[in-house]
Structure 1
Amino acid sequence: MSAVIVLLLGIAGMTAGYFFYSKFIAEKIYRLDPNFKTPAHTYQDGIDYVPTNRYVLWGHHFTSVAGAAPIVGPAIAVIWGWGPAFLWVILGTIFFAGVHDFGAIWASVRNKAKSIGALTGEVVSTRARSIFMIVIFLVLLMVNAVFAVVISNLMMNYPTAVVPVWGAILVALIIGQLIYRRLLSLPLVSVLGVIALYALIFIGPSAPIQMPSEVGPVSGNAIWILILFAYAAVASLLPVWVLLQPRDYINGLQLFIGLLVLYGALILFNPVMVAPMLNDNLPAGTPSILPLLFVTIACGAISGFHGLVSSGTTSKQLDKETDARFVGYFGAVGEGSLALAAILAATAGFASLTDWQQVYTAFGQGGVGAFVDGGAYIIHNGLGLDMTTAATLLTVMAALFAGTTMDTGLRLQRYIFQEWGSIYQQEWMKKPSWATGLSVASCLLLAFGAGGASGTGGLIIWPLFGTTNQLLAGLTLLVITVILVRQKRPAIYTLLPLVFLLVMTVLALLTQLRAFYEQGNYFLLVLDIVVLGAALLVIMECLATLKRLRQETAQAAPGD
């Protein structure tokens, strides 16, 4: 099949979802109020609570949620065939991710911009909150530790991307001053910022920076990991307008243009999908597509991490409640578009089926490498750009996505420690510097404590990321559903996605439980049991709350 047909079908579906389904959800379910005073105004402090232009905020939200995962997951899942991956990404974006991300922003904004974890204590129970926050902490720990590895690997393998990746930070600092101090109009700043970023991309191949493979007792990857965490620690303490907002905004524009370049090249090249729609020639040891497809592709279809961003940083910057639809739902569409690009690059970016099969020799193969190499092949043939520059463009895209997610992830982890400080009355833990220090220390403990001098310890627990992340998404939908039931609004539009997601996630946890036992991997076995137990406890708490609310509604009905 022509890759262009697949592309057009996917874009048409997600576009219809935004213009029609999200409008219905905004007006009939969440009932957005343009006159509602958002926490960004109520608690404005110039650091975390800052009313923000919706286009700038969309840039922050989109690039924060769209890390490496919407590239890695789809580019691995196509081993089962591109058809199931395509359907899950498109339908997941429309009916799952958009409603979830949009809903998490709305619920947080309506409750003083509290995180979804803290909000659980109010709408469900304090016990559920405690369990939920442990799950949240695990997800953030995995994201921060592993994305540092992903970025370090990209910079080690593609040294031409180092200058563009780090140069983007300087561009963002300048852009932040220009926007915040209103020295130039937003459109002009946007154009200048994009030009600067693309100039860096073309400079990159002529000025590669290669970190030595070994620096004393540690690897070059480990040095990059330490540098990344030092940067992220500083970034998480700065006011959002200084670096976080402008970096995410200008990266969002550059990344969106990068997607258009890839899509444009694909239309001009018009390759075929060399991979099968349904792969019946799976390599030995490939697990069953059900239920693992729905946790292998998390980001790009629905992701619990998005709920953390929505209720952690985005809700604190929302200028008007009505902006939540554009920022949240359209942000999910942006990530779905990236996942679609990953599917196309990893299936149509090969010269033949044999070439594709040589890469996909086992489950877990593909990932970012297939996206970069396959996408570069498409851009080279479609636009005539040389392979090195094309690969640099896509590597920078992947690294910037992962980097902005890591920036936001560490800030969110800081919020978790601060919330724990408030809950357990530990004043020192509520201080940003101490909370940031604890966040970095926990990530480095996992990275180097479990991974040794390589700093890749996060990869040890990464096999549980998909299930833990999807569990978090299901629990977030549960909280939103409880809020809707309390307000006597239709809850079926969040209830159906959460039931499907929780069933698939629990089945996946049980499937992995058996696999870890057979492999003798007792560390992941115990962690799987902990995550599964937490899931079941929070589900029971939420079900009990829903039952109580139904009983209260039934008792109140005769007197209405």
Structure 2
Amino acid sequence: MLTFLASILFLIVGYITYGKVVERIFGADDSRRTPAYAKQDGFDYSPMSWWKGSLIQLLNIAGLGPIFGAVMGALYGPIAFVWIVLGSIFAGAVHDYFAGMMSLRHNGEQYPALVGKYLGKYAQSSINIVSIALMVLVAAAFTAGPAELIAQLTPLTFTVAIVLVFVYLLVAAVLPINKIIGKVYPVFGGILIFMAVAIGFGMLFLFEHPIPNLTFTSMHPEELPLWPLMMVTISCGAISGFHSTQSPILARTIKKESEGRKVFYGAMIGEGVIALIWAAAGMTFFGNTGGLQEAVAAGGAAGVVNEISQTTLGTLGGILAILGVIILPITTGDTALRSSRMMLGDVLRQVTKKSFDGRKSKLLLIVPVALPAFLLSQIDYSFLWRYVGWTNQLVATVMLWTGAMYLLKQAKFHWICSVPATFMTGVVSTYIFYAPEGFGLDYGLSMILGSIIWLVVIGWFAWQVYQEKRQTHPSVAHSNAN
């Protein structure tokens, strides 16, 4: 229990202290006019209070990620607490803050456009494809999952359920942000928080088994390689590239720059707390990681969440579990489509030099991303989710390098982005070679190949640092060369 409580405390202290450090290094300035006012259109650009924005951001970035991902990550044992805490404070929250604040500084631009400004046009072209593909996969996965549960609980067939869910996604994705998202989603964000807090109290006072502490003998089961699998399994709740596509949505609604720490950094820390609670619940409720593994094999992560919720909270827990498994992924799916619509608009604007800000244009832009998402949603949910993980963390890694380049060019302390970017580069480089959905190579060979890519990326950034110093202090760079 001590490890769990300490982890919660570290997250809170991290927000209060390191969050302010990150804000100060970035240089939040309330004298600047934000895009919510400068480009106000009553559709995507619309001023919103920070507390409402924070709840919407939490719901957008979370969905079922910090619940399902944390439950699966709990299979690694108490070491998962360490990754959630360190990942949230030093990687995930920094990632989300820079994704949101850099968008705000660049008139609400989407993630690929930011990549293009600081990593070049080739990187932007590649990440445009990857990020839109990620949005389509997320929308598909977060349509199929709820539809399966609706079909189980109601007389509706899976086909009818999936059509109904998708119709809602389309409507929410093309309506002004204040129509549905701004009014209803803060309530759903409150449900997500209430559900986690209730499970946390139940775990502390009602569970039969104590929350395990981190020891040298309980690090993780040997059959589950910690590196790099845990860092991809627990993405939401530590660091997730999907967040970089969601943060610009809220960047277009923030009234002043100082609210960015609450909306972006704070929402990620909140997601970390939720992930901690569910990871601890998964380890504790079934007695040990072996019991959890059996429960996951029997009913999947959804079955685990449902059993914990109903046992802990009774009928209310069952209702909340159903609400969570149905509503939370749907609310993430619609914002995924909304983001992909915005990204596609940016791509077409660059190619055609025409504006796609009109309402008719928004309706037309949703079709090319909605159609493949709908077709993919009819594939097995677990199969889809396997391909979300690596793509998600690749997007996160690129966003961190984008933040590092932004700070480097601003002559600011780039290490707050470049260090976690370096770490995540190692994760995605090794994972793609080892994972079954990747090349499925031998673990040792995967580590070697991943290390080679890691060294190449580190060399590239070192060269960027040298070039920046050379441009800023040419005489110093010349003397060093001699």
CA distance in 2, matches of 1:535, 1:341: 33
Q: SS of the residue aligned with 2:435?
A: helix
Distance 1:357 1:105, change over 3 A: closer
Report how far residue 401 of structure 1 moved: 2.2
Report how far residue 464 of structure 1 moved: 2.6
Report how far residue 438 of structure 1 moved: 1.3
1:501-531 deviations in Å (ceiling 9; x for gaps): 1111110011126965579xxxxxxxxxxxx
Deviates more, 1:424-433 or 1:302-311: 424-433
Q: SS of the residue aligned with 1:33?
A: coil
Report how far residue 224 of structure 1 moved: 1.6
CA distance in 1, matches of 2:296, 2:260: 39
TM-score by length of 1: 0.76
Report how far residue 247 of structure 1 moved: 2.0
Which residue of 289, 306, 315 corresponds with 1:372?
306
User: After superposition, where does 1:518-557 map in structure 2 within 5 Å?
Assistant: 545-555=464-474
Report how far residue 428 of structure 1 moved: 9.5
Which residue of 364, 372, 378 corresponds with 1:442?
372
CA distance in 1, matches of 2:62, 2:168: 20
Q: Give the equivalent residue in structure 2 for 1:14.
A: 11
CA distance in 2, matches of 1:360, 1:76: 8
Q: Give the equivalent residue in structure 2 for 1:404.
A: 331
CA distance in 1, matches of 2:158, 2:455: 38
User: After superposition, where does 1:349-428 map in structure 2 within 5 Å?
Assistant: 349-350=285-286, 355-361=291-297, 366-379=300-313, 386=314, 388-425=315-352
RMSD between aligned residues: 3.1
Q: Give the equivalent residue in structure 2 for 1:305.
A: 242
1:381-418 deviations in Å (ceiling 9; x for gaps): xxxxx3x4312212313433212211211100111221
Q: Give the equivalent residue in structure 1 for 2:446.
A: none
Report how far residue 237 of structure 1 moved: 1.1
Which residue of 152, 155, 180 corresponds with 2:150?
155
Q: Is the 8 A contact 2:296 2:304 kept in 1?
A: no
Q: Does residue 136 of structure 2 align to residue 141 of structure 1?
A: yes
Q: Does residue 182 of structure 2 align to residue 211 of structure 1?
A: no
Which residue of 79, 87, 91 corresponds with 2:82?
87
Q: Is the 8 A contact 2:64 2:325 kept in 1?
A: yes
User: After superposition, where does 1:313-328 map in structure 2 within 5 Å?
Assistant: 313-328=249-264
Distance 1:538 1:107, change over 3 A: farther
CA distance in 2, matches of 1:62, 1:302: 13
Which residue of 451, 467, 480 corresponds with 2:403?
480
Q: Give the equivalent residue in structure 1 for 2:445.
A: none
TM-score by length of 2: 0.88
For these two proteins, the number of residue pairs brought into alignment is 466
Which runs of no fewer than 5 residues in structure 1 stay unpaired?
A: 160-209, 213-219, 380-385, 448-454, 520-531
Report how far residue 275 of structure 1 moved: 7.4
User: After superposition, where does 1:178-327 map in structure 2 within 5 Å?
Assistant: 210-212=154-156, 220-269=157-206, 271-273=208-210, 286-311=223-248, 313-327=249-263
Identity of aligned residues (%): 25
CA distance in 2, matches of 1:344, 1:484: 36
Q: Does residue 418 of structure 2 align to residue 495 of structure 1?
A: yes
Letter in 1 for 2:370: V
Q: Is the 8 A contact 2:408 2:414 kept in 1?
A: yes
Distance 1:132 1:70, change over 3 A: same
Q: Give the equivalent residue in structure 1 for 2:57.
A: 61
1:451-473 deviations in Å (ceiling 9; x for gaps): xxxx1256434323211111111
CA distance in 2, matches of 1:357, 1:76: 9
